[in-house]
Amino acid sequence: MAPTGALRNLTLALEAAVVVLGSLLFIAWKLYFRGSEPAGTWDDWWERELRELQERDPAGSAAVWKQVLVLGLDGAGKSSVLHYICSQKARTRIPPTLGFNSAQLHVEGLEMDLLEVGGSHNLRAYWPLYLSDAHVLVFVVDSVDRSRLLTARQELHALLAEEPRLPLVVLANKQDKSDALSTEELREELALHLLSGQRELFLLPTSATWASLSTATSVLHVKSLLVTLLSQP
């Protein structure tokens, strides 16, 4: 029978060897990962690594959030514009918006929240409530709907009376139709010169249809404009 004392000594020696080996491995691991960095504490090293990672991957850093408010009379094409800005898939029927409709776009470090409030008469009373959170207003006009241009103009001017600085993008929509008014005619009809003052103002001809996505009136130009506009500090 082996003496108990010798067994205890062997166990102690083995434990000591494990501890020494563990310490050596830990030191080697630290030295290996620190490479040629100047001496610093463990915390310094970890913070430096994190900083480098964030610099290497700016998309991983927090995106800037901006809200785009999309308004205009019922049937002007707001939902269609939103759909084709966010998705390039053909859609045959887009139902009228009975309340709100929203879509999110993540482009170049920008988190864009596109919010449409329906344009029917009863919903227009809610439009002003959303202005204070908006970074830009997109106002969609049906370029064919001559009989309601005055209403569109009155609604737009009333809306912006208290918002002298809010950037405005007016879309002269349905330009694919042969009887559409031109942007020059709409600029006059909507009296846009009265709204320009201190704000950035754009008037774009658009066709919110799948067939027009690769044409000069594509809504993808609106997307580019919004990215440029909202990327400004």
Known binding-site positions for Mg(2+): 79, 97
Give min distance, CB of 98 to ligand GTP, in A. 8
Q: Are 195 and 167 in contact (CB under 8 A)?
A: no
Contact positions toward Mg ion, by CB under 5 A?
A: 78-79, 97
Residue type, 154: Q
By C-beta, is 74 or 185 nearer to Mg ion? 74
Give min distance, CB of 233 to ligand GTP, in A. 32
How far is residue 120's CA from residue 140's CA, in Å, rounded to a whole number?
A: 13
Bridge partner residues of 169 (DSSP) = 138, 202
How far is residue 48's CA from residue 51's CA, in Å, rounded to a whole number?
A: 5
**String marking each residue 166-185 x if it binds ligand GTP according to CB under 6 A:** -------xx-xx--------
Hey, what are 170's tokens?
A: 């007016």
Q: Is residue 207 close enough to count as binding ligand GTP by CB under 6 A?
A: yes
Q: CB count, 10 Å around CB of 143?
A: 27
Bridge partner residues of 68 (DSSP) = 114, 136
Q: Is residue 119 close enough to count as binding ligand GTP by CB under 6 A?
A: yes
How far is residue 204's CA from residue 131's CA, in Å, rounded to a whole number?
A: 21
Q: CA angle, 154 as apex, 159 and 158 as ends, to 5°?
A: 25
Q: Are 76 and 173 in contact (CB under 8 A)?
A: yes
CB under 5 to 8 A by kind: which of Mg ion, ligand GTP, none does 8 bind? Answer: none
Give min distance, CB of 92 to ligand GTP, in A. 8
Q: Which of 45, 75, 113, 204 binds ligand GTP (CB under 6 A)?
A: 75
Q: Count residues contacting ligand GTP (CB under 6 A)?
A: 22
Give min distance, CB of 52 to ligand GTP, in A. 46
- Residues found near ligand GTP in the complex (CB under 6 A): 72, 74-80, 94, 96-97, 118-120, 140, 173-174, 176-177, 207-209
